[in-house]
Amino acid sequence: MHVRGVDPRDTAWEHDDAVYRAYFWDKAQGASDEYEVTGADVEEVLAWVRARAAGTGSAYTLYARVMDGGRPGLVRLGGVAGDPFA
């Protein structure tokens, strides 16, 4: 991990209401369940994702959905990186 100070004026925009995508990976089935979550902060979403994954025995990946040049994309916030079936 690398930490450095930043100038908070170096960004052009900020959103207070994030859109999250949660993927739950079922390795036994070779499939995933995907959900979109809104109206919550990241701590609430992480708690829900971790509890659901523990209850089902699945791995998870949590993303923030962002727009770049008018196109949607995902930024990983936690959980499994990449395709766990690969």
- pTM above threshold 0.75: yes
21-38 pLDDT tens trace: 999 999 888 899 999 999
- 35 beta partners: 22
CB 63 within 8 A of CB 77: yes
Task: Say what the pLDDT of residue 71 is.
Answer: 95
Domain range holding 38?
A: 17-79
Say if 8 falls within a structural domain: no
Domain count, the chain: 1
- 22 beta partners: 35, 62
| Mean pLDDT to the nearest integer, 6-17 | 90
49-78 pLDDT tens trace: 999 999 999 999 999 999 988 999 999 999
